[in-house]
Amino acid sequence: MARRLQDKLAAFFFEYDTPRMVLVRNKKVGIVFRLIQLVVFIYVVGWVFVYEKGYQTSGGLISSVSVKLKGLAVTELQSKLQVWDQADYVFPAQGDNSFVVMTNFIMTPQQAQNYCAENPEGGTCKNNSGCTPGKAKRKAQGIRTGKCVAFNSTVQTCEIFGWCPVEVDDNIPSPALLREAENFTLFIKNSISFPRFQVKRNNLVEEVNASYMKTCLYDKKLHPLCPLFNLSYIVQESGQDFSSLAVKGGVVGITIDWDCDLDWHIRHCKPIYEFHGLYGEKKLSEGFNFRFARHYVENGTNRRHLFKVFGIRFDILVDGKARKFDIIPTMTTIGSGIGIFGVATVLCDLLLLHILPKRHYYKQKKFKYAEDMGPKAGEHDPAATSSTLGLQENMRTS
């Protein structure tokens, strides 16, 4: 027993096993084998290393965006001229990565808290029984008093207590009142950071200086790095028509993409701008609008001008990543690539042992069969044979 344990320990520490190799001289199998290896090599080098940058590690970014708009528009309502600047037509006024430029509006002037007939959109009536006091429907513009009164010479509606006169928004001005908005300019300042690599960058890159900023206007071919944009150009590049969009409003997405290879100089890390129309051609709830009011006091009475604003909402979306050489993903990719080369062996074995006409002959050469029989009494255990005899046997059978 002790002798057998000693032999097993000696075999474990002092012997080395290697698989027997069978050299097959077959042109078809040889060509298939090398072609598969070539395809795997092209995949590993071309796709994994060159295209997918398998030798690099990557990290995401954090971003901050601020915007400024410049431009003037003039409207003439009820024979009165009014000039609109960025303080009037930009919401929110401080600028953010999501903002609205007003292009059209319906104004209900000089509203005050009072009693009046509600808009027929809230429902019509024939007598007081159709107006429940204290009730407000979904489209109501105030609290009902219980009276049915004349809205005009032909229509009766419920009387309400609210902001009077009520808003009537049936007729949207066309063309848009602030159609000069297409000439407004937008300045985008985007600052980013790649925390993993401790790199900071902004879209005012080395090519963008004070003198360049005075004359440039973004063009994807002529001035792809200029941070000043014409609104009509943005809408056009998003696949929409500014004049049509300005009437009822819409949404445009501005994407800023940073794809930075930090193995090169940081000056090669530059933004790429793209523009997208986000609403499509939906007829239901078409456009983009909201309401705001300008309050004032007149003779001790609180009043307001109510605006239903139609505008273009711009959403600025920043995305990207940075990449840099790292030994760990490099070694992982190399190891995976070497492992993929085993596909050639598996496929060629399948061809050799199961498809070719001489498959039975190749099976005999590749596999060595042994019966499952233990040693008889007085016979030596084959497991205890020396490594020298085993090597000689392998040499004879190769």
Domains of the chain: 25-55+326-351 (1.10.287.940), 67-109+178-322 (2.60.490.10)
Do the annotations mark residue 366 as ligand-binding? no
- pLDDT of 107 strictly over 70: yes
- pLDDT of 374 strictly over 80: no
- pLDDT of 391 strictly over 60: no
Q: For residues 373 and 239, which has the higher predicted lDDT (pLDDT)?
A: 239
The predicted model gives 269-291 an average pLDDT of 85
Do the annotations mark residue 126 as ligand-binding? no
- pLDDT of 17 strictly over 90: no
Do the annotations mark residue 69 as ligand-binding? yes
Do the annotations mark residue 139 as ligand-binding? no
pTM for the whole structure: 0.76
Do the annotations mark residue 185 as ligand-binding? yes
The predicted model gives 259-270 an average pLDDT of 94
Do the annotations mark residue 303 as ligand-binding? no
In this structure, the number of other CB atoms found within 10 A of the CB of residue 286 comes to 13
Q: Model confidence over 298-345: pLDDT tens digits?
A: 999 999 999 999 999 999 999 999 999 999 999 998 898 888 888 888
Do the annotations mark residue 8 as ligand-binding? no
**CA neighbor of 180 nearest in space, from 113, 102, 256, 248:** 102
Average pLDDT along the chain: 86
With 0-12 CB in 10 A as exposed, 13-18 as middle and 19+ as buried, what is 159?
Answer: buried
Do the annotations mark residue 196 as ligand-binding? no
